[in-house]
Amino acid sequence: MLRLYKTPALLRRLLPGYTWLREEQGKVLYLTFDDGPIPEVTPWVLEQLAKYQAKATFFAVGDNLVKHPGIAKQILGEGHRLANHTHNHLRGWETPLEYYLENVQQCQRELERLNPDATQPKLFRPPYGRITMKQAAALRPDYELVMWDVLTNDYDRSLSPEKCLREAVRCTQSGSIIVFHDSLKAQRNMQYALPRFLDHFTAQGYTFQTL
């Protein structure tokens, strides 16, 4: 099975209207977590981040924000950032434009209810990285469309935890935007890889910041 851990430079050049990484002068990394928050996984993630004084950006599913507002408030209270991942984790390629845009706005309303002073610009990551040109064009005036430089593939249950960690470390460089998932599907690999990833790069003098 072919897995991409590192976004090819050619793809970044072909799709310049998206944020793939941050150009940095120092040792700064950007951890992101998709699909939460959920009580089974997200509080554990927050514990690991706190151990390393690491900050992260959580691309939240709006329905999970409705179900678990306490965890969402904990994310914000600990200095992390919440961002938009649609309300129902929609596949952009398979979803009509108007319905997709309304679903994004539904999630955004929940984000702004939790944090009326949310930092601008608004951040959006399409689930599965799948979004049509029309959807992107409609969202771009109001949102920074955030993709990634490193995809851990932690959700792939056929992937060993050790390889998940090894490839994530190998592909990460200064300014990388790294995707983990605070989801049940990714729990096994993520819980193995995340603390070791944090330890490895912290020992090398890197800091972890929000987008």
Marked catalytic residue, from 68, 80, 85, 181: 181
The three-class DSSP label of residue 72 is: helix
Q: How many CB atoms lie within 10 A of CB 153?
A: 22
CA–CA dist 54, 27 (Å, integer): 13
89 contact partners, CB below 8 Å, separation of at least 6: 35, 61, 63, 127
Q: Is 181 part of the annotated catalytic residue set? A: yes
CA–CA dist 177, 159 (Å, integer): 21
Size of the chain in residues: 211
CA–CA dist 9, 22 (Å, integer): 14
Marked catalytic residue, from 34, 149, 154, 182: 34
3-class DSSP string for 136-159? HHHHCCCEEEECCCEECCCCCCCC
Q: Is 142 part of the annotated catalytic residue set? A: no
CA–CA dist 106, 87 (Å, integer): 6
Catalytic positions, written as ranges: 34, 181
